[in-house]
Chains A and B, each alone.
Chain A
Amino acid sequence: MTSLPKDPPPKRLGLVIDLDTCVGCQACVVNCKEWNTGGYPAPLSDVNPYGKDTVGAWLNRVHGFEAGQGAASQTVHFPKSCLHCQDAACVTVCPTGASYKREEDGIVLVDEERCMGCGLCAWACPYGAREMDPLGDVMKKCTLCIDRIYNENLPQVERQPACVATCPARARHFGDLADPESDVAKLVAERGGMDLMPELGYRPTNKYLPPRPRRRDPADGTPPPALEPAQPEGGFLGWLDNVLSR
């Protein structure tokens, strides 16, 4: 059923991504692929992975952007996966009923047994969250690791999306954004979490925390004091310095 849920889901599970702390290490990209190629949307295939003209389906990608000019510019690593929009056009355009939004937690999923691979949902998504599987010919997308977050065979601490679990910079957070008391909702309130392309009105669930303003040089413009050159005095290091300076 590709109509959106009539009532807003009681829970709104999603991610909060901290653009201030993401270091662009790609660990989330790799762990996402690793988990999901064996999980719900398995397999996430690649064609010619070690040769020329590689193509493959990935559910999470990290872009690198530069914002601003000159000394004031900032490099920002920018992870991007499905934002599980509240007004998900990818769901309503689906002609077969394969694409749907869960009534209980708002997660957007694809029923791969129903997908006919027309690609219209990927056209409808402004964020590029959906990729066609090159071998399965069905649409793949982030499942928010539905087979981890509700998986009672995993210890409680591991019941979070693979990308969140693996992030070494703790730049990714998972939780219920409909609950104002949740950690993620507090983080969004505190740091000014934002929507991507709000002008299109898809109301994404995932929020991005903007980079914090950079520490500036002292206001009077004096450069910070330079370090003294190292000058070993006497002893073994002094002797070594003499030998190497010759």
Chain B
Amino acid sequence: MHPASSIIFFTTSAGAGYGLLFLIGLAAPVGLIPDGRWLGFVTLGLALGLAVAGLVSSTFHLGHPERAWRAMSQWRSSWLSREGVAALVTFAPAGLFAIGWVFLEATGGVWGLFGLLAAAGAVVTVGCTAMIYASLKTIRQWHNPFVLPLYLAFALMSGALWLNVLLHFFGAQGLWSDLLALVSPILAWGLKMAYWRDVDGATGASTPETATGLGAIGQVRLLEPPHTDQNYLMREMGFTIARKHAEKLRRIALFLGLGCCVVLAAVALFTSGVISGIAVFLAAVAGSLSILLERWLFFAEATHTVMLYYGARSA
């Protein structure tokens, strides 16, 4: 599948934003984060800013962005529509939570309830994003039980890394935030490695023989393509990445997202002051880069059944 930069930015940025919103929506009401006005302003600002940036970016890949409002209408059947609704609805409790925190410096009581609701909305939104992909039977690397937990785990990881940066900046970090920044990359990349093992070991049920129904005669090969130039289908669904590049990129992503994040999180645990601050910031940068790579590979390595009609042996 063609890795469109607008969609990669959308899923990673919105994932980080809603991941951050989830964590502060849970942590602030129970008192793990101090209710200082500026800390609230910056953490909620970053969370909602990342979410909005992602949603705006997603419209860049539309043919008619001015009709995007219509995408709220088909939540009964469409995961993309559900995601749009969930993304917007979540802004309501998040906005009220922000009013309480920033203007009234209150994160408990009813204001805390809004935080919890925002956290729930964030989980639902990221879950819907994952289901857009996981519901497509045409792409076996997406129609996979790991995809939903993966999206949630990577949103949690990027949220945890950036929350820790902000908490360190305000001197409000706790053991819990440092540990979360250590554990969440292990969880996400552990799941990703299991996912890779799963999709690499399997082949799709569809073949050129089932796609053409000619399997009874024998093996099916493309003799002449229906057109001489590329068409929309080939540009959109025919993206292929050389296996050796994919493996190298996977290793780089693991090095950044697992290796660097774990080492830097450990450094932050055992140091203090500026050094731990720099460590958590570098961890957030490395982790975010690794998630961008992960998302690029999620598209680039995915194969679509339509390419069986264009010479692919499997999909």
Contacts and interface: CB of A to CB of B under 8 A. Distances in A.
B308 to A, nearest CB: 8
Contact of A116 (B62, B132, B221, B304): B62
Interface string B178-222: 000000000000000000000000000110101111111111111
Contacts of B76: 2-3
B65 A58 contact: no
Given A116-B62, A131-B231, A200 B74 contact: no
A63 B213 CA distance: 13
Nearest to B73: A97
Interface stretch (B99-107, B232-240, B260-268, B282-290): B232-240
B206 A199 contact: yes
A122 B305 CA distance: 11
Contacts of B205: 199-200
A96 B73 contact: yes
Nearest to A116: B67
Nearest to B135: A93
Contacts of B218: 67-69, 72-73
Interface centre among A119, A123, A127, A201 (most CB of B within 10 A): A123
A107 to B, nearest CB: 18
A89 interface: yes
Interface residues of B, number: 60
A197 B137 CA distance: 12
A115 B224 CA distance: 33
A64 to B, nearest CB: 4
A207 B227 CA distance: 23
Contact of A210 (B84, B213, B231): B213
A238 B32 CA distance: 110
A116 B78 contact: no
Contacts of A54: 228-229
B306 A125 contact: yes
B222 A67 contact: no
Interface centre among A55, A65, A78, A198 (most CB of B within 10 A): A65
Nearest to A119: B236
B304 A123 contact: yes
Interface stretch (A132-140, A146-154, A220-228): A132-140
B70 interface: yes
Interface in A59-81: 61-69, 72-76, 78, 80
A120 interface: yes
B97 interface: no
B236 to A, nearest CB: 6
B84 A134 contact: no
Interface string A42-57: 0000000000011111
A95 B63 contact: no
Given A3-B76, A197-B211, A137 B233 contact: no
Contacts of B274: none
B144 interface: no
Contacts of A53: 229-230
B208 A131 contact: no
Nearest to B71: A95
B220 A95 contact: no
A126 interface: yes
Given A65-B222, A89-B136, 17 more contacts: A62-B226, A63-B226, A67-B212, A93-B78, A93-B135, A95-B70, A95-B72, A97-B70, A97-B74, A114-B70, A116-B68, A118-B61, A125-B306, A128-B233, A131-B232, A138-B63, A197-B210
Interface of B: 1, 61-65, 67-68, 70-74, 76-81, 84, 132, 135-139, 205-206, 208, 210-233, 235-237, 304-306, 309
Interface of A: 1-4, 19, 29, 53-58, 61-69, 72-76, 78, 80, 89, 91-98, 114-120, 122-128, 131-132, 134, 136-138, 194-201, 208, 210-211
